[in-house]
Structure 1
Amino acid sequence: MPDFQDRPSASSGPQWSFLQRHGLLFVCTSPLVANAIGSLFNVLYNRNQIFPLLSDAQRIRFDDCVLWFNVLIYPIAVLCFVLPLLWVRPVYRDLLAGKPVAAELHQKVQRVVVNLPWWFLLVASLGWLSCIPVFITSLYVLPEPLQGIVIAHLITSFLIAAMIAVTHSFFAVELAIQHAVFPVVFYSENQTNQTMPASVPGIIPLNITLRGALWTVSSVVSPIISLVLILLLPDDENLAPRFAVAVGLVAIAFGFATSWMLGKLVVRPVQQLRRAAAEVAAGNLDTHIHLLCADEFGHLINSFNSMVEGLRQREHLQQTFGRHVGQEAARQIIRQGDRLTGREQVITVMFVDVRNFTQYSSEHSPSEVVSALNVFFREAVECVESNGGMVNKFLGDGFMAIFGVGANTERHAQNAVDSALALRNCVQQSSSIFQDAGWDDLQIGIGINTGPAVVGSIGSPKRQEYTAIGDTVNVAARVEAATKLAGHNLLITESTQSVLADPSAWIPLPPQLVKGKTTPLRLFAAKHDP
């Protein structure tokens, strides 16, 4: 089965990767790089653009604010982000160990994990943006007047740092959760009944539109706003060009990083859906996508897997159904639906009967009779279906086959004759098989007729049968019965003989009067009958 996603082996329990075993730690550390770069930019900007504008007392107060923020506010923000992970950790460890978890608790953990990127976005945004009022207020309460340009620089500094850190960290957290945590909290040995992230109630998935907006903010809007703010503000130290270059380089680097993360979150599901669709189009209905997503792609993957499962069940039903009515009949019935309809068309009908069946049945047990018939019917069905026909019904010790229905509407008379010849040869060559079944001298009679008949589902709305009805069918049955008196085990009617590729290979017999007919039938037998 094409998997389209690396998953732990279920042969002897889940085999978790290093990333999955330490998934919560990986999620905790995923925002570090973006926040570190945002903090570095913030520190450099403050030292070079804001410090020259401050008095000595304001500089001391500014350093105090930085100290208390690093000692108090940042740890609180980190703790707020980590609290849900600490709550999830015991359940996560149980899942890693393969221990059972209560369904309600498991669903809560899944909901918390899916919504975790939004929780980080809220905590990080409050942490960064709270710097603006705190720093401005702490400087404003000092006796020295606070210049308006300092306030503008402070707002610029923290806004740029926040946009750099928060948006990129959001994608990093989401990607870390999807790769490291989802495989554990959504693991199921039964893949068809697996809970998918997009199906968890109470989640707030990031749709493609919002993800595109965040990508635009992180890769386009943030750098442009940053450059505009830097260039518009007064620059007594002439450092604006230097910061503009720094912002540009950071924007380029983060743009590539964001595009890579967005590719993992968006392009990857598209590629897997494309490959899976190609597999299904090629006839592989064992395809299943195991990629765990909580956005629209999650719903799309769920729908795709459900569609393939429905196709697989329909194929299984058709194959199971086809073993009872024939594969071609099953396809016709499914295509036709519940309608009680029939269509008149020219077909070829073949009846086959086993000789001396009554005597054999009286000398053997029912189980032995059934076993012997199954051997014969197995060979007969193969001969019929390999020549484009379908065995329409079994008639105790014989069967009725139809040629010219469905996709095989060409040369149906020739196909029926080829099938009959193949079946006759098969019976002769398989005599040892039938002898092992206690049937020392199995003989058959075959009658074939070509003509118009009504083919389709016939019966009541509660019980239907796919078959052929008409005089053509009745005549074929009478021709098979005539083989007992004619001395030939294969007879065809004139309507069949006249459309064969080589009509001269069949010799006419004296006209035969059959039951239900007022005029004798012209029948033909093969020139080289055994």
Structure 2
Amino acid sequence: MQPTPLSTASDIAANRRVWTFVERHGLLLVGISPIVANLIGSAFNILYNQQQIWPILSVAQRERFDLCWQLFNLLVYPIAVACWAAPLVWLRSTHRALLVGDKVEESTLVSAQRLVINLPWWILIVAGVSWFICIPVFPAALAMVPGKLSPVVVGHLITSFVTASLIAITHSFFAVELVSQRALYPVFFRQTSMANVPGAVPLSITARGILWALSAVVSPIVSLVLILLVQDPQHHSPAFGLAVGVVAIAFGLTTAWMLSKLIAVPVRQLRDASMRVSDGDLDVRVNLQRADDFGPLIEGFNTMVQGLQERERLQETFGRHVGQEAARQILQQGEGLVGNEQEITVMFVDVRNFTAHSSTHSPQEVVSALNIFFRLAVETIESHGGMVNKFLGDGFMALFGIGTQQTNHAFQAVRAAQQLFQSLEIVSEELEQVGWPGLQIGVGINTGSAIVGSIGSPKRLEYTAIGDTVNVASRVESLTKTLGHSLLITENTRHYLPEELSCIPVPPQTVKGKGEPLRISAIAEK
């Protein structure tokens, strides 16, 4: 059982018992994986010989035929088995070391990885030579028997061996590849990538299609054509030809099933994973080890998702420092000095009596109180569509209407300020516990045009707003200390507010930087 492609750590842990068995006996499982295909191919070959060839042989030819297949099985098959087992035996020490976590020399590990990927080709060579050598050997052995060897016998022998070999060889290839992927790849490529292993020749999708065609298309067609070409009216049975076609087609379908496991499974898993990513799940990974065309694709997909996850984490961390909206704006603008003129509302907030309180309390107590206040302020400002742009020691500057088509940002700023005053009462007990009961603030709000964006030098940028609108908002906040009102707004802001919002007229005030007195209004804190 293989872990699901979208499995989490807990899913994989739940499957460890099964995987441990498969991994520990992986070499044995790979070694026996081609047996079934070759046994069925041999059974087909024997049945064909008994039905089609044995009846048309002479007594002497039958004796030679029996002697030939006995010697062949005694000599060639053991050699073929030894050739197939040799690389598996060589892999045993490396396999065992990797299972127990021992360190393996780099050159040895690379050689083992290359061999694991190339195992399907090795069984293709071993099985191919073992089967196709029968084609010249058996006719030659029968030709040495006194008497004429009928061309029909030769034709049937070729038909028998070609059909059986195509079935056995292609199925052996796919069987070894499937079992290797499940049993050996997780062991030999647990810490390394399968991409670009020197000397490895993974089967491409195109080559896989060709092999499938050999088993599912060429094999049955060739078998039936050869049977038709070597018909013997005295011994030919149409039913046997039909049986040959059915058997060949059945094996072709089996090959198609194995091919679907090798191609459809990774395609489906990549599709499901991409859908989960589109839904916002960046923890998904495709846990498949493939050395073919899907290997780089899967590795690239996982790298991409990891990059997206890192980007989200970076944006989240970045947003904690500059504000989520500012982070989005900066990422959209990219690098460089960028500033655009926008109609915004600027809010300045200042904590009252900060200097006096700091002189009688420890820095830790002061910071604890400010953290409570700033946490409350950020939540309140952002809940009304604004962003805290910068902290100013004992206060902060907030911007409303940044990067949006929002036309009611002035009203949202006023509502945020009123809620901020109300929320201070909610956290009054927390503030009292850290030594600052009755913390008071002053708020100044102004609306107008400002340059908003990344401003500074190429080596050090700051996302902020600059302009007379910002300066006036700061001056208005300073007036709260002398006018006896904690929330003041300019006439520009008042212009955007609904008529039903009650404002308290305040005499025009002269502020630094403005030649004419500034028209302002006070708003109730609740």
TM-score band w.r.t. shorter chain: over 0.9
1:108 alignment partner AA = S
Select 1:303's aligned residue among 300, 303, 319.
300
| Structure 2 partner of 1:191 | none
Select 1:88's aligned residue among 87, 91, 100.
91
Shift of 1:324: 1.1
Shift of 1:390: 1.2
Alignment of 1:339-378 (within 5 A): 339-378=336-375
| Cα distance between partner residues in 1 of 2:340 and 2:119 | 61
| Structure 2 partner of 1:215 | 212
| Structure 2 partner of 1:338 | 335
| Cα distance between partner residues in 2 of 1:46 and 1:31 | 23
1:170-196 deviation line (CA, Å, top 9, x unaligned):
111111111122222223xxxxxx423
1:300 alignment partner AA = L
Deviates more, 1:431-440 or 1:86-95: 86-95
| Structure 2 partner of 1:190 | none
2:223–2:244 contact (8 Å) kept in structure 1? yes
Confirm whether residue 480 of structure 1 aligns to residue 482 of structure 2. Answer: no
SS at match of 2:413: helix
SS at match of 1:510: strand
SS at match of 2:389: strand
1:75-134 deviation line (CA, Å, top 9, x unaligned):
111111111111112222233333333333233222211111111111111111111122
| Structure 1 partner of 2:164 | 161
1:186-210 deviation line (CA, Å, top 9, x unaligned):
23xxxxxx42333433211111111
| Cα distance between partner residues in 1 of 2:289 and 2:203 | 14
Shift of 1:332: 1.2
| Structure 2 partner of 1:316 | 313
Deviates more, 1:468-477 or 1:31-40: 31-40
1:283-310 deviation line (CA, Å, top 9, x unaligned):
1111111111111111111000000111
Select 2:64's aligned residue among 55, 61, 66.
61
SS at match of 1:504: coil
SS at match of 1:204: coil
| Structure 2 partner of 1:48 | 51
1:48–1:239 contact (8 Å) kept in structure 2? no
Shift of 1:6: 8.8
2:379 alignment partner AA = E
Cα 1:167–1:84 change in 2 (3 A) is same
Select 1:111's aligned residue among 111, 114, 122.
114
TM-score by length of 2: 0.94
| Cα distance between partner residues in 2 of 1:502 and 1:272 | 59
Confirm whether residue 463 of structure 1 aligns to residue 451 of structure 2. Answer: no
Shift of 1:408: 6.7
Shift of 1:368: 2.6
| Cα distance between partner residues in 1 of 2:505 and 2:253 | 85
Shift of 1:12: 11
Deviates more, 1:244-253 or 1:76-85: 244-253
| Structure 1 partner of 2:421 | 424
1:488 alignment partner AA = H
Deviates more, 1:276-285 or 1:231-240: 231-240
1:451–1:495 contact (8 Å) kept in structure 2? yes
Cα 1:315–1:243 change in 2 (3 A) is same
Deviates more, 1:399-408 or 1:327-336: 399-408
SS at match of 1:227: helix
Deviates more, 1:489-498 or 1:102-111: 102-111
TM-score by length of 1: 0.93
1:198–1:296 contact (8 Å) kept in structure 2? no
> Size of the alignment, in residue pairs?
523
1:42-97 deviation line (CA, Å, top 9, x unaligned):
11222222233333322222211101111110111111111111111222223333
| Cα distance between partner residues in 1 of 2:102 and 2:24 | 15
1:196–1:293 contact (8 Å) kept in structure 2? no
1:129–1:158 contact (8 Å) kept in structure 2? yes
Select 2:6's aligned residue among 4, 7, 12.
4
SS at match of 2:501: helix
| Structure 1 partner of 2:132 | 129
| Structure 1 partner of 2:143 | 140
SS at match of 1:511: strand
Select 2:201's aligned residue among 204, 216, 231.
204
1:258 alignment partner AA = T
| Structure 2 partner of 1:516 | 513
2:280 alignment partner AA = G
Select 1:182's aligned residue among 185, 188, 192.
185
1:23–1:177 contact (8 Å) kept in structure 2? yes
Cα 1:113–1:56 change in 2 (3 A) is same
Alignment of 1:255-270 (within 5 A): 255-270=252-267
Alignment of 1:245-256 (within 5 A): 245-256=242-253
Shift of 1:238: 3.8
2:95–2:187 contact (8 Å) kept in structure 1? yes
SS at match of 1:421: helix
Confirm whether residue 78 of structure 1 aligns to residue 75 of structure 2. Answer: no
| Structure 2 partner of 1:26 | 29
| Cα distance between partner residues in 2 of 1:501 and 1:302 | 57
Shift of 1:2: 8.7
1:206 alignment partner AA = L
2:90 alignment partner AA = W
Cα 1:201–1:503 change in 2 (3 A) is farther
Select 2:175's aligned residue among 155, 166, 172.
172
2:55–2:235 contact (8 Å) kept in structure 1? no
Deviates more, 1:350-359 or 1:229-238: 229-238
Cα 1:87–1:210 change in 2 (3 A) is same
Cα 1:97–1:13 change in 2 (3 A) is farther
| Structure 2 partner of 1:443 | 440
Cα 1:461–1:38 change in 2 (3 A) is same
| Structure 2 partner of 1:243 | 240
Cα 1:449–1:359 change in 2 (3 A) is same
| Structure 2 partner of 1:388 | 385
2:152–2:232 contact (8 Å) kept in structure 1? no
Deviates more, 1:296-305 or 1:98-107: 98-107
SS at match of 1:212: helix
Confirm whether residue 272 of structure 1 aligns to residue 276 of structure 2. Answer: no
2:508–2:519 contact (8 Å) kept in structure 1? yes
| Cα distance between partner residues in 1 of 2:87 and 2:172 | 17
SS at match of 1:441: coil
Deviates more, 1:478-487 or 1:492-501: 492-501
